[in-house]
Structure 1
Amino acid sequence: MPVGLLLLFVLPALVPARAPRPARLDVPGALLVTTGTAALIYGLVEAGDAGWADASTLLPLAGAAVAYAAFAAVERAGRAPLMDLRMFTRRPVLAGAFLMLIATALLIAFFFLGSVYLQHIRGFSPLRTGLVFLPVAVATGIGAHLGSRLVGRIGSRPTAVAGLAVAAAGAVPPTRLSETGSVYAGLLPGFVIASLGIGAVFVTATTTALAMVEHRVAGLASGVVNTFHEVGGSIGVAVVSTVAAAGFERGSAGGFGDAFTVCAATAAAGAVLSLGLVPRGKPRPAGGPHVH
C-alpha cells in the first residue's frame, strides 16, 4: 500500500498524458471488480480452512458472483468503462488467462503441500524446508527461459501442451509419498521436473495474451492475466488442502498422495484443453520480453 500511494502521487507528475483530455475514472466499476475479486479469493482461502459447505466460504463466493454480475452490467452501460468486456472474446487472452490459472494453481499447490509435508510429517524446520525448495525455484527459472525460446520457435500451443505434460509427469512421483524414505529421492525430483514445465507455461501464458493482441489493449490483457494469477493460487491451495485434510489431521502421508494425484490429473487435463484453446502460430514480438 505505501508503494501504491507513492506512485499515485508521483506518476501524474512524471508520465505525460497522451489523451487531449484526462480520461474519466470508472469508479463504480473499479470498486465492484476489486470487491468481487477480494471476496472470491477470501472465499477460496476459507474453503481450505472451513470446507466448501461452510457459511464463511459460501457467503464470500456468493458475494463475488453478485459483484461480478453488477460489474458486467455497469461496464455495458457506462460511457467510459474500466474494461471492455469483449476482451474475454479474444482467444489469445482467454488462452493466456487459462494457462496462468492452471500454472499458478499447480505451483502454489506444490509449494503448499510440500511445505506442510516436510514440516508436519517429516519434522523439517522452516529453514531446511526452504533450502529443499531452492532447486525448485532454479528449475522454474530454467523452464521459463526454455519456454521463452520454444514459444518463438515452435509456437504457443506446442509449448503450453509440452509444459503441462511435463508438469503432470513431475506430479506423479509425489503421489507415492510416505512417512519414511528419502525426501531427496521421493519428493524433490518430481518437484523439479514439474517446475520446469510450469515455468514454461508461465511464459507461454503472458506471451500469448500480450503478443497476440494489439498494443492498445495490451495493458488490459495484462490485467486480466494477472488477476487469474492471483485467483489461481487461491484455487490451488483451497482444492489441495481440502483433499489432503485427512493427512493434516492424522499426521499421515496418505492425504498428500491424493492431493498430488489431483495435481497430476489437473495438469494432464490442462494439456488436453490447451490443444483446442491455445492459438496456433508464433507470437509476434511486442517491443520487449514478457516475463512473470
Structure 2
Amino acid sequence: MFVIASCQLMVVLDITIVNIALPHIQTALGFSTESLSWVVSAYTLTFGGLLLLGGRTGDILGRRRVFITGVLVFGLASLLGGFAQNAGQLLAARALQGVGGAVASPTALALITTTFREGPARNRAFGVFAAVSAGGGAIGLLAGGMLVEWLDWRWVLFVNVPIALVIALLAARVIRESERHPGHFDFAGALTGTLGMVSLVYGFIRAAQDGWRDPLTLTSFGTAVVLLGSFLLIERRSRQPITPLHMFADRNRSGTYGIMLFLACAIFGMFFFLTLFVQNVLDFSPIQAGLAFLPVSVVVAVGAGITAHLLPKFGPKPFMVLGALSAATGLGWLTRTDIHSTYLGSVLGPILFFALGMGMQFVSLTLMALSNVPDRESGAASGLLNTTQQVGGSLGLSILVTVFGTASRNEAEEQVPAFLATARPGQLLMFERTNRLPDPWGDEVLTAGVSAAFVVAALFTLVGALIALFAIQVRPADLERLQGNHVPAGR
C-alpha cells in the first residue's frame, strides 16, 4: 500500500508543485504568459489523453510490469525536465511525464484490487488511495513553495527522481504480478484523441498570441476537427475502444461528464492565473504563495465531508447545482481584483467560496459517474471521469489564456501613453528591448488580463450549474442503488 500510495502522490502533486514555480520558470526560460500555460497543459493533455490506454496496458501486459515502467518513465522525464535549457526541452519532458503518469496511475488503482482481498482490507486501501489523491494537491503547493524558495525551480522536477527509483525498486520486491488478460490496444484512438486535443489547445494559445486570422491558428483548428472526427469514427468501430462511447448514452452520466468538463476548465484557470497574481502583483514569495492556497484544500475536504453526510437525505443533484453556484460566486468575486488588492481583502474569501463548491461537486460527480455501471465497466467509467477532468482543464486553460491575451493587450495599449509620459530613460530602453511595460504599468496589464479570464471562468461554472439543473435526474430514493455501484474513482 505504501508503494501504491507513494506513486499516486507523486503523480497527483506534480500539477500543483509545478504551479507554484511557474513565475520562476517563465523568467528562467523566457516563456510568455500565454505560452507558459503549456507547462501545465503538456502534462495534463498526455496524462488525460492516454489514461485509459494506460489502464488497458496494465490489464494486457501485467500490472506490476507496467506500473514499474510508468514510474521509471515519470522519473526519467522529471530528470530531463530539471535539466531543461529552453522552453521546448521542458515541454517535451512535461509531455513525457504525462505519459508515465498515464501508465502508472490507473495501474496503481487496479493493483489494489489484485493485492487486497475484497472486504475491509480493500475498503481501507481504497480509503488510503483516495486520501492521498485528495491531499496531494495541498502537499504539492507547500512543497513547491519550499523547493523554489530554498533551492531552485528545477527541484520541483528533480525531487521526483529519487522517489520514482525507490518506488520502482520496492514494487519489484513487494508487488505480485497480475494475471494477463488478452485484449486489443486501441493505439489509433489514443493517438487521434490526444493529438486532436493538442491541436485544439494549440489553436487557442496561438490565437492569444497571433490572432484568430493567423494561418497557423486556422490550421490548428482544422487539424483538430479532422483528428477528433477520426477519433469518434475509430471509437465507434473499434472492438475494444479506449473510450466506450455508450457510456454517454445515460443522461445522468453524460451530464456528469459535462459538469466535470466545465468545472475543470475553471479549476485549472483559477490556480494558473491566481498563482501569477499573488507572486507578481502581491509580491508573495513561493512559500507564501503555497500557504495562500492551503485553505482551498481544507475547505474542499470540509465541503466533501458535509456533502457525503447529507447525500442520503437530499441526493446529489442539489449539491451539483449549489457547488457550481458557489464556485461561480468565488470566481465572480475574483474579477474585482486590481493592483491595490490584498490577500485577506480580495483573494481569501473568493477562493473559500470556490473551494466549498469544489468539495460539493467532487463527491456528487464521482457518485453519479459510476451510477448504473456494470462492475466490468466501472474502471472505464472512473477513468473517463478522470480523463474529462484533465482534458477539460487543459482546454479551458487554453481558452482562458486567449481571453487573458486579448484583455492584456488592450490594457497595454491604454497604458503605453501614460508610461511614455513619465518614463525614465532606462525604463524606455528596457521597454524597447523587451516590449514589456515595467511595474506598475505591467501590473495593471497583468491584472486586467487576469480579471477578464476570471469572468469567463465564472461563466464555465454557471454552465455546469445549468447542466446539473436540467440534465441530472436523480432522486434521494435512488441513492442506495447508486452507492451500490460506487467504486472510488482515484482522481
Give the TM-score band, short-chain normalised. Answer: 0.7 to 0.9
Task: Please tell me whether residue 15 in structure 1 is matched to residue 178 in structure 2.
Answer: yes
Residue of 155, 179, 184 corresponding to 1:24: 184
Alpha carbons of 1:87 and 1:195: their partners in 2 closer, same or farther (altered >3 Å)? Answer: same
Residue 139 of structure 1 deviates from its aligned partner by: 1.6
Residue 76 of structure 1 deviates from its aligned partner by: 3.1
Aligned 8 A contact 1:203 1:290 in 2: no
- TM value normalised by structure 1: 0.84
- Return the alpha-carbon distance in structure 2 between the equivalents of residues 46 and 126 of structure 1: 29
Aligned 8 A contact 1:43 1:61 in 2: yes
Alpha carbons of 1:59 and 1:127: their partners in 2 closer, same or farther (altered >3 Å)? Answer: farther
Cα displacement string for residues 68-99 of structure 1 (whole angstroms, at most 9, x for unaligned residues): 22222233334444443222222232122112
Map of 1:264 onto structure 2: 458
Cα displacement string for residues 164-207 of structure 1 (whole angstroms, at most 9, x for unaligned residues): 11112222322211211422121111111111101221222222
Alpha carbons of 1:124 and 1:78: their partners in 2 closer, same or farther (altered >3 Å)? Answer: closer
Structure 1's unaligned 5+ residue stretches are none
Write 1 or 2 for the structure with the bigger share of helix: 2
Q: Which amino acid aligns with 1:263?
A: A
Alpha carbons of 1:172 and 1:36: their partners in 2 closer, same or farther (altered >3 Å)? Answer: closer
Percent identity over paired residues: 31
Q: How does 1:212-223 map to 2 (within 5 A)?
A: 212-223=372-383
Task: Please tell me whether residue 190 in structure 1 is matched to residue 331 in structure 2.
Answer: no
- TM value normalised by structure 2: 0.52
Alpha carbons of 1:67 and 1:255: their partners in 2 closer, same or farther (altered >3 Å)? Answer: closer
Structure 2's unaligned 5+ residue stretches are 1-69, 75-99, 109-170, 413-441
Aligned 8 A contact 1:164 1:201 in 2: yes
Map of 2:335 onto structure 1: 175
| SS, match of residue 172 in structure 1 | helix
Map of 2:301 onto structure 1: 141
Map of 1:251 onto structure 2: 443
Q: How does 1:129-168 map to 2 (within 5 A)?
A: 129-168=289-328
Residue 45 of structure 1 deviates from its aligned partner by: 4.8
Where relative contact order (Cα < 8 A, 6+ residues apart) is larger, the structure is 1
Residue 288 of structure 1 deviates from its aligned partner by: 4.4
Residue 42 of structure 1 deviates from its aligned partner by: 4.2
Cα displacement string for residues 210-244 of structure 1 (whole angstroms, at most 9, x for unaligned residues): 13322222222223222211122123322333323
Aligned 8 A contact 2:262 2:463 in 1: no
Task: Please tell me whether residue 66 in structure 1 is matched to residue 233 in structure 2.
Answer: no
Alpha carbons of 1:279 and 1:233: their partners in 2 closer, same or farther (altered >3 Å)? Answer: same
| Root-mean-square deviation over aligned CA pairs | 3.0
Task: Please tell me whether residue 286 in structure 1 is matched to residue 286 in structure 2.
Answer: no
Aligned 8 A contact 1:99 1:202 in 2: no
- Return the alpha-carbon distance in structure 2 between the equivalents of residues 41 and 31 of structure 1: 15
Runs of 4+ aligned structure 1 residues displaced above 6 Å come to 5-8
Map of 2:6 onto structure 1: none
- Return the alpha-carbon distance in structure 2 between the equivalents of residues 244 and 234 of structure 1: 15
Q: Which amino acid aligns with 1:257?
A: S
